[in-house]
């Protein structure tokens, strides 16, 4: 009876200690909508457009300059110039609605009702080139290009751009760059928190990623069982 009581007490103490440390392992960093779309975009860095309509899910296979991409396939325009299509694909992957993030394939043309510039101006969400953008905003260039702002300093804007050098690249521009036409501000809901594990993972059919857990993922039950057993054995030695 005494031995059973000690065993029960050891197990209870082990569980209490485990509960104290559990949040360190199980709490994932919840993402804002801005962070979610940037995470999706960053996963696509290095993707290169294709020579034809095959191997679209591979980042590097069938590389060419013919504007065939998985983003265009999703949008329903393939082949097509795809910088705008890319940012819209990222928005879709991160769960943003078309009301929050209008879909567009043409960047700047205020006479065209579904161009990016026209839709953001109609929403009252267009800012001129002297605006200090936030991560997640869209940067529009006068020559007809758009990227997703990733970070900003006093002197430069870093964005993730599709169809830059025929690929998805991280691009740094001076904030005084004369080619900056303005910025589009999607309607992010700042009250929304997103579990990163609910976002679609990066896919590369030529180089599948090994199954790994993200830093915020829950550890397996077997791992916790090992901890419990370790504490049980420790207390048994101390009090047995």
Instruction: Provide the CATH number for the domain around residue 136.
Output: 3.90.1720.10
Whether 21 maps to a domain, the answer reads: no
What φ, ψ does residue 60 adopt, rounded to 5°?
-120, -20
Angle at 134 between CA 133 and CA 140, to 5 degrees: 45
pLDDT band at 227 (very low <50, low <70, confident <90, very high): low
Domain encompassing residue 165: 33-198
* Mean pLDDT estimate for the chain: 85
Whether 203 maps to a domain, the answer reads: no
Whether 18 maps to a domain, the answer reads: no
Q: What is the pLDDT of residues 42-87, one digit of tens each?
A: 999 999 999 999 999 999 999 999 999 999 999 999 999 999 999 9
146, 139 in Cβ contact below 8 A? yes
Q: What is the mean pLDDT of residues 129-135?
A: 98
pTM: 0.77
| CA distance from start to end of the chain | 13
pLDDT band at 212 (very low <50, low <70, confident <90, very high): very low
Alpha carbon separation from 174 to 142, 147, 153, 179 (Å, rounded): 15, 14, 10, 10
Whether 165 maps to a domain, the answer reads: yes
Report the distance separating Cα 178 and Cα 145, nearest Å: 13
Report the distance separating Cα 172 and Cα 194, nearest Å: 28
Report the distance separating Cα 124 and Cα 58, nearest Å: 38
Q: Does pLDDT of 211 surpass 50?
A: no
Q: How many domains does the chain have?
A: 1
């Amino acid at each position: 009876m005494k031995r059973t009581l000690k065993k029960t007490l050891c197990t209870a103490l082990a569980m209490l200690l485990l509960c104290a440390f559990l949040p360190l392992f199980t709490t994932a960093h919840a993402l804002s909508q801005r962070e979610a779309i940037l995470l999706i975009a960053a996963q696509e860095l290095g993707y290169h457009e294709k020579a034809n309509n095959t191997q679209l899910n591979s980042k590097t296979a069938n590389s060419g300059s013919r504007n065939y991409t998985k983003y265009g396939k999703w949008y329903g325009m393939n082949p097509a110039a795809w910088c705008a299509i890319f940012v819209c694909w990222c928005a879709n992957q991160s769960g943003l609605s078309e009301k929050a993030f209008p879909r567009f394939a043409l960047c700047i043309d205020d006479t065209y009702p579904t161009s990016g510039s026209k839709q953001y101006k109609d929403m009252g969400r267009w800012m001129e080139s002297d605006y200090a953008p936030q991560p997640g905003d869209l940067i529009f260039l006068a020559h007809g290009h758009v990227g997703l702002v990733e970070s900003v300093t006093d002197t430069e804007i870093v964005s993730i751009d599709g169809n830059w050098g025929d690929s998805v690249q991280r691009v740094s521009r001076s904030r005084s760059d004369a080619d900056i036409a303005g910025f589009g501000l999607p309607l992010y809901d700042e009250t929304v928190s997103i579990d990163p594990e609910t976002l679609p993972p990066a896919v590369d059919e030529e180089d599948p990623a090994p199954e790994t857990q993200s830093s915020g993922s829950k550890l397996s039950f077997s791992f916790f069982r090992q901890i419990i057993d370790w504490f049980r054995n420790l207390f048994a030695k101390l009090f047995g």
